[in-house]
Amino acid sequence: MVLFKKLFFSLIVSLLIFCLIFSFFTPIFNAKTIIFPYAVHPFDIVQKYPNFWKFIKISFVFNLFFSIFVITNSFLSFFVPQKEKKIKLNRQNHKLNNNLSLMVGNNFLTGQNLYIEEAGLYQNILVTGTIGSRQNKFCSLPFFRTAN
């Protein structure tokens, strides 16, 4: 439902912007003659190639609307925050039921052990510290224990 609302809103905003830009270019679309002076022999594209001129106008309208819709949609996705998944840290006394988990430390306020549950272990884990603070020891195999 949220995706539908976002697309509907971006469609409405795109239509408004499209109408403003199209009204600016209306005199060119309604012109009876458009002469290109860049060729060796200047020619009138409206009278000499009417089918090509019609194709140019139609392709401009479709490309204009599509590009406005894409830009509006990207701005909306930039300004509307997405819901983020959070990794659960079990802050209670952890009882292992044959599940893999990792104790990451103690809660400073309560003194309880903090664990990353098995689902969180399939994600990336960043271990930081100053030089010589034994980050590799933290990541070594003996730290991963299972309960008996």
Locate the domains of the chain by residue range: 2-79, 89-143
Produce one character per residue of 29-61: b if its CB has 16 or more CB atoms within 10 Å, e if not. eeeeeeeeeeeeeeeeeeeeeeeebeeeeeeee
Contact between 137 and 113 (Cβ < 8 Å): no
In whole angstroms, what is the distance from residue 70 CA to residue 10 CA? 9
Residue 101 has pLDDT above 60, yes or no: yes
- The pLDDT tens digits for 9-54 are 888 989 999 999 989 988 888 888 888 777 677 878 888 888 988 9
DSSP secondary structure string for all residues of 56-88: HHHHHHHHHHHHHHHHHHHHHHHHSPPP-----
